[in-house]
Amino acid sequence: MNEVIKAIKERYSCRDFKAAPLTDEQVNAIVEAALAAPSGMNRQPWHVIMVTDKALIEEMDAEGMGMLAAAEDQSGYERMMARGGKLFYGAPCMVLVTTDGEAAMDVGILSENVALAAHSLGLGTCIVGMAGLPLGGAHGEDYKKRLKFPSGHIFGIGILVGIPNTGKEPHELDMGKVSYVSG
């Protein structure tokens, strides 16, 4: 089977990471894969922030979990508690993608490049919109400053990366989600 198609079919959302940090080679490969992503008219409306500061990731995790715990709707908090009580699942690396507010699709393409590149390196990933939670909270501006958000940029998406503690089978393909139109 084609290696790219094999990686696409095998990749899953990892929610259980080892504490071991990524190597410099792994971080650099992920950065290069991110920056290789195509964008409309090659605008590249993103900025990639590689967060390997474990203490900062854990601090943001606790902030986000506190926000979920205080929310009127407890469904998000309950879902995260059922998954181990960690917003970022103990990942040693978080790739934050910021955007100038345009072209959300381009940010999505970049995040898939990161996920597939990491998978090809034997790493696990989880694409997480909830990484934006602590960035929008009471300490959000402080986090953005510490993370070196570019001026005028907003949170686009987060991708957790690390060595998986456990594996998981990818989801089943639902061919009912496909329609064919031919001439």
Residue 23 has a pLDDT of: 97
Q: Which residues contact 183 (CB under 8 A, 6 or more apart)?
A: none
Mean pLDDT per block of 10 residues along the chain (183 residues) reads 89 95 97 96 94 97 95 92 93 96 87 96 96 94 96 95 90 92 94
Write down all domains in the chain, each with its CATH number in brackets.
14-167 (3.40.109.10)
Show Cβ contacts of residue 130 under 8 Å, excluding neighbours closer than 6 positions: 64, 76, 87, 158
pLDDT of residue 101: 83
